[in-house]
Structure 1
Amino acid sequence: MLTRIILRAVPNLKRWTPIRFNSQQVDPAKMKAFQEKVDKAKVRRAYALGGCLMFIWISTHGILLYKRRSEHRNLNEKLPPISWEEFEQKYLSTGDVKSIIFQPHFETANVYLHSAKEQQMKKSFVDLVHTTPDKFSRPPDVRFYIEASADDVQSLVTAASQKYKTHVDFELDQFPSYRELSFIVGSSLFVLAAITMAK
């Protein structure tokens, strides 16, 4: 009874016929081709994302390494490194050395002293040299170069400390450092998030 009332109120409703989908009408070959296109698009997207991340990873390494090299050249001009033999004779033997930061990439060590004389020398270089190592916000007091591995340099410093009965802190300044590596990882994650949100 209710159906007859609705049909009388809306006479055009009779013309509507339900649409029935038949699963047999879908061509399996077309579905397979469509799925292959989707899979290829996903693969291309993954390759593009991986290539972009690799580019960011390499470029940030290059930028930080270039920055280090520029600081190294600038410091060489302002405070040329001396030889290991001269450094040992003038500084290690007197017990003025507080800490040594060895950079294996440049085969050069930055030395920080705790004597009043060398602290006065340090103040004269603050305005001339602009460099910021990871653990020190001031330029080194003395620098020396040596063609040796990090383990060999550490062994030499340890032997000299025992010989002259002094204590010297020895540290390595590898590339990339923890701070530089965190910058590289952070930049890569930022680019990854930006690409993901853009899609």
Structure 2
Amino acid sequence: MTRKLEGGKLLVATHNKGKLNEIAEILTPYGVTVIGAGEMDLPEPEETEDTFVGNARIKAHAAARATGLPALSDDSGITIDALNGAPGVYTADWAQTPNGRDFEMAMTRANDELTAAGASAPRTAQFRCTLVVAWPDGHDEVFEGVMPGQLVWPVRGGHGFGYDPMFQPDGYEITCAEMDPAEKNTISHRGKALAQFVQGCFSG
């Protein structure tokens, strides 16, 4: 039986504003007020695991312990089949520069590596999201969502964030960055994982 969340306030253990806004938008219909880790001045713990669930657990438990509130953490990324699942948990690392994250650089690297590997179209990939909600007593619940698709080049669209401009979901002719954000949220890996989270922790 999934543990339920009481009250309408949820701490989200992320400093990524794009991710925080997306989570807040998806949870709006459920009357949930989202607070980001940045607003609470929480430090970003080091992500030392080699799985999405491992890193999500680190972030959620650290935030729950620090604040005494239940905390939701999202570890997500893109897995590219022709690159043996890379970048995976290193999705954000591919974008890291001394001056912050540069996803244009990261998308270029992905395309360059696919070209070097001789990968032909469709260059299949998946956006993956693992959510962990942790309580201060150490209990946690895990929810996962996957959005399959393929990578396109050159990139297209001005919405979204991260690798959205090069990712075309299965069944669509447009990229995530060309979609209305509300439409993307209904099919996205994060939207699917959050729907399971709401059903598990708020419904019933």
* TM-score for both structures, normalised by structure 2: 0.26
Higher relative contact order (CA 8 A, sep 6+): 1
Higher relative strand content: 2
Higher relative helix content: 1
